[in-house]
Every structure is written in structure tokens, then in C-alpha cells.
């Protein structure tokens, strides 16, 4: 008789061996942008208008202590077949903005203004019954912690079946067949047996794969992945990223990747949006933002990345803490922590909020900073520290 525990160990070994992460011999401080065929194409490889368009999005939460300004005037777009990474420290508004795209905020406790369009259809202000038709069908979300997102009292297979039947009038047998196909597609060994198991019987990496299967079971055109590799070991992280890449190629979906790991951004993203204190502070292609950043906050994020080659060097963390969203600083929100604010004439950094303007006066790469010589400062002072 086969020992179930032995089979579990075998499945886990298969999962771990599926994609070994390689450490480059010439590792430098800061991520090296991965070369991908689709990055060599046009800005919109689908040839269509962006599927997700967010314009001037503001999300605020009234509390007993005051109004929490979680997201302020955020705008971005994501075409089909392209990946946008939203990065920033905890509390910068990454997850809050993406939950607004999913329509997951309680309208009684949240003030949302601006526009969110999916395939040209406005979703801000939609009633809950209309939002339920959108969630899981047109747009799906892979949450950060699958252990808390999956129901512990239902089998994994039945939860995927339920997600499919909500949007399709099919029998349980048809839905089960679809669920088994998805479990196999995301690389879960022996999907027939795993279908009837509970979340606690899955390893961490397999639970994340199950969440991805549930998110993609209805072929959504937009997938929001909220820290999909957090709390996973490095090998499994590489597998999950490869899985998302491969599934995107198969389904042609747009991906919004929420992360604080710039190594993941370099591997996955086509475009990068850097958020701080609820605002976009830099936005552009991965090559522009990671190789030619023009915002001191982005410089700080890059300098705080540990690498093998810099083993004997001290890390350069960003000094101070992110501001309270109840009482944002006047002027640039980053000014209390910015080591370059004294290079701006007058008191503009503390009095005037910088606009999000094109770098060097043209192009799609934009940044929010009063410094006039950002390029020369980066090349002379920051780039040498990155290696």
C-alpha cells in the first residue's frame, strides 16, 4: 500500500526540482533587467488599446483619527500581454489601488474617485451584483497568502469548481474536468488526488499554484498578483515566476504584479510604476526605471538591494520611515527622507508638490522630483554605488 506521506514528499521534490534558480557569476548591486523577446517589440504588443486604464484614482478611508489618503491621483495603463510591476515600501498604496481595480473596498467605508476602465467599461461606482460578474471573470487576483485565502474546510478542487461555476452554467462534472485541467496546467503533480485534498495538505508553493489555477480558471484578461512569491523559498519563487510567464503567453492576459522585490521586477516586468505615500513617483519601462532611474526614492530602493558581489559592503537603507497617510508632508512626500533636497533652490521640496513630468522633457518615462540635474547626479553619485 502506498504511503500518502511518501507521495507528498515525492510531489514536493518534483516541485522543487522543476526550476533551479541560477545565480549569475557577475552579480552586481541592483537587478539586471532580463532580456525578453516581447520587450523588443512595440509598447503595445497586442496591437490594441490598453485593457486596464486607471486615471486619477483616489482612495481615502474616513477614520476616527481623520481621513487616510491611501491613494492620490494615480494613473497608469496595462495592455494585454504586458506586465506592469507596482513597487514601493509597505503602506505606499500598492495593494489598496489594486483592490480598487477588483472592486473589493467597502463603499460605505471608502471614498473612491477617478476612473478605472476594464476593456473600456467603467467599474468605479458599479453596484455589487455587477462587480461580482467582473471579479474572477474579466479580472482575477492572486493574493499574497494562499493559506488565509483558501478556505480550510473545503477541498482545493471544490473551491476551483465553485470559482468556475459562478461564471459558467455548467454541471459539476464539467467544472471538475476544467479544475483538473487547471491543476495540471499550473504544474501540480497527480491532480486527480490533489483535487480532493485540503489546503493544509499542500506545501506553500503548491498552495500558491492552486491560487493561480483558481484565478485563471475563467481565462481572465487581467491578473493581479499581490506579492505572489512572499514567504516562499528561492527555488519555489523562481518556479512561480516562470509559471506566471508561461501562463501569460498561453492566455495572452495582462498582469499587474505588486511587489517590493526589485529582483522579481527585473525578471518579470515590462513596465514599472514606483509608488510612495499613495502617489506615483516614477513610471516607465523596466529598462528606463531600473537602468536610468530619475527619482531619489527609486535610487534608495536600488541601493538597498543586497548582492553577492557586495558581501563586504554595508547596505544603504533609506533613512527614516514612510509618512503617515493621515498627515502627509507638504510639498514632496519624500522630502523628510530625501538626501538631495538641499540641492533644490529655495524651499520647493517642502512647499510644492512636484508634478509627474517626462524625464528629459520627452518620452514615456516620467518622474516626480524638483531636481534639475537628476541624470548627472545619478551617473556621478548613485550609479557607482550600484556597481
Model confidence pLDDT, tens digit, residues 195-206: 999 999 998 888
* pLDDT over threshold 60, residue 10: no
Phi/psi for 75 (5° steps) reads -140, 135
Distance from C-alpha of 310 to C-alpha of 387, rounded to nearest angstrom: 9
Q: What mean pLDDT comes out for the span 175-196?
A: 92
- Which range has highest mean pLDDT (38-47, 221-230, 237-246, 291-300)? 291-300
Q: What mean pLDDT comes out for the span 224-236?
A: 80
* pLDDT over threshold 50, residue 105: yes
pLDDT given for residue 183 in this prediction: 92
Phi/psi for 157 (5° steps) reads -60, -45
* pLDDT over threshold 90, residue 340: yes
Burial (CB count <10 Å: 0-12, 13-18, 19+), residue 108: exposed
Q: What mean pLDDT comes out for the span 242-266?
A: 88
pLDDT given for residue 58 in this prediction: 97
Q: Read off the pLDDT band of 172 (50, 70, 90).
A: very high
pLDDT given for residue 51 in this prediction: 93
Distance from C-alpha of 124 to C-alpha of 57, rounded to nearest angstrom: 10
Phi/psi for 280 (5° steps) reads -80, 125
* pLDDT over threshold 90, residue 290: yes
* pLDDT over threshold 70, residue 39: no
- Average pLDDT score over the chain: 84
- Which range has highest mean pLDDT (20-34, 109-123, 199-213)? 109-123
pLDDT given for residue 231 in this prediction: 66
Q: Read off the pLDDT band of 186 (50, 70, 90).
A: confident
Distance from C-alpha of 254 to C-alpha of 46, rounded to nearest angstrom: 10
For residues 308 and 110, the model is more confident at 110
Q: What mean pLDDT comes out for the span 277-304?
A: 94
* pLDDT over threshold 90, residue 52: yes
* pLDDT over threshold 70, residue 32: no
Distance from C-alpha of 131 to C-alpha of 100, rounded to nearest angstrom: 11
For residues 386 and 230, the model is more confident at 386
Strands of the sheet containing 121-122, edge to edge, are 66-78, 52-63, 111-118, 121-122
Which DSSP category does 382 fall into?
I
Return the beta strands (E) in 101-183 as ranges: 111-118, 121-122, 139-142
Distance from C-alpha of 241 to C-alpha of 299, rounded to nearest angstrom: 25
* pLDDT over threshold 90, residue 22: no
Cα-Cα-Cα-Cα dihedral sign, residues 145, 149, 150, 151: positive
CB atoms within 10 A of CB 192: 10
- Do the Cβ atoms of 173 and 259 come closer than 8 Å? no
pLDDT given for residue 77 in this prediction: 94
- Which range has highest mean pLDDT (74-88, 144-158, 234-248, 299-313)? 74-88
Candidates 321, 268, 318; CA nearest to 298 is 318
How would you classify residue 346: left for phi > 0, otherwise alpha for psi between -120 and 50, otherwise beta?
Answer: left
* pLDDT over threshold 60, residue 363: yes
Q: Which of 12-21, 140-149, 160-169 has the lowest mean pLDDT?
A: 12-21
Q: Read off the pLDDT band of 310 (50, 70, 90).
A: low
Return the ∠ at Cα 52 (arms to 254 and 259), rounded to 5°.
60
Cα-Cα-Cα-Cα dihedral sign, residues 226, 199, 222, 43: positive
Q: What mean pLDDT comes out for the span 77-95?
A: 93
For residues 8 and 373, the model is more confident at 373
Q: Which of 46-50, 100-104, 339-343 has the lowest mean pLDDT?
A: 46-50
pLDDT given for residue 35 in this prediction: 39
pLDDT given for residue 37 in this prediction: 41
- Do the Cβ atoms of 275 and 94 come closer than 8 Å? yes
Return the beta strands (E) in the chain as ranges: 52-63, 66-78, 83-87, 111-118, 121-122, 139-142, 222-226, 254-259, 271-276, 279-285, 357-358, 366-367
Phi/psi for 281 (5° steps) reads -110, -15
With 0.85 as the threshold, say if the pTM is over it: no
- Do the Cβ atoms of 277 and 74 come closer than 8 Å? no
Partners of residue 85 on adjacent β-strands: 257, 272
Amino acid at each position: 500500500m502506498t504511503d500518502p506521506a511518501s507521495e507528498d514528499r515525492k510531489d514536493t521534490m518534483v516541485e522543487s526540482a522543476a526550476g533551479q534558480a541560477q545565480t549569475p557569476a557577475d552579480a552586481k548591486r541592483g537587478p539586471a533587467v532580463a532580456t525578453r523577446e516581447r520587450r523588443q517589440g512595440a509598447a503595445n504588443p497586442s496591437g490594441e488599446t490598453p485593457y486596464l486604464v486607471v486615471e486619477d484614482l483616489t482612495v481615502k478611508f474616513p477614520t476616527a483619527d481623520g481621513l487616510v489618503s491611501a491613494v492620490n491621483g494615480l494613473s497608469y495603463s496595462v495592455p494585454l500581454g504586458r506586465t506592469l510591476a507596482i513597487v514601493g515600501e509597505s503602506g505606499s498604496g500598492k495593494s489598496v489601488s489594486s483592490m480598487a481595480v477588483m472592486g473589493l473596498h467597502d463603499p460605505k467605508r471608502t471614498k473612491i474617485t477617478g476612473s478605472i476602465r476594464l476593456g473600456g467599461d467603467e467599474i468605479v461606482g458599479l453596484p455589487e451584483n455587477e462587480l461580482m460578474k467582473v471579479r474572477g471573470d474579466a479580472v482575477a487576483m492572486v493574493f499574497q497568502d494562499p493559506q488565509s485565502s483558501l478556505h480550510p474546510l473545503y477541498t482545493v478542487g471544490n473551491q476551483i469548481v465553485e470559482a468556475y461555476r459562478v461564471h459558467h452554467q455548467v454541471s459539476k462534472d464539467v467544472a471538475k474536468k476544467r479544475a483538473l485541467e487547471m491543476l495540471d496546467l499550473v504544474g501540480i503533480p497527480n491532480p486527480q488526488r490533489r483535487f480532493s485534498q485540503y489546503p493544509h495538505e499542500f506545501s506553500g508553493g503548491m498552495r500558491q499554484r492552486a491560487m493561480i489555477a483558481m484565478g485563471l480558471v475563467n481565462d481572465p484578461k487581467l491578473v493581479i498578483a499581490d506579492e505572489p512569491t512572499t514567504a516562499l523559498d528561492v527555488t519555489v519563487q523562481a518556479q512561480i515566476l516562470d509559471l506566471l510567464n508561461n501562463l501569460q503567453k498561453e492566455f495572452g492576459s495582462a498582469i499587474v504584479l505588486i511587489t517590493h522585490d526589485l529582483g522579481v521586477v527585473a525578471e518579470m516586468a515590462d513596465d514599472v510604476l514606483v509608488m510612495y505615500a499613495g502617489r506615483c513617483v516614477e513610471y516607465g519601462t523596466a529598462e528606463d526605471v531600473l537602468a536610468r532611474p530619475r527619482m531619489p526614492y527609486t535610487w534608495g530602493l536600488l541601493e538597498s538591494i543586497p548582492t553577492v558581489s557586495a558581501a563586504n559592503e554595508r547596505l544603504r537603507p533609506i533613512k527614516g520611515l514612510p509618512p503617515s497617510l493621515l498627515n502627509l508632508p507638504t510639498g514632496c512626500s519624500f522630502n523628510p527622507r530625501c538626501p538631495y533636497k538641499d540641492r533644490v533652490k529655495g524651499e520647493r521640496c517642502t512647499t510644492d508638490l512636484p508634478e509627474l513630468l517626462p524625464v528629459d522633457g520627452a518620452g514615456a518615462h516620467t518622474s516626480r522630483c524638483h531636481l534639475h540635474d537628476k541624470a548627472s547626479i545619478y551617473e556621478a553619485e548613485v550609479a557607482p554605488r550600484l556597481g
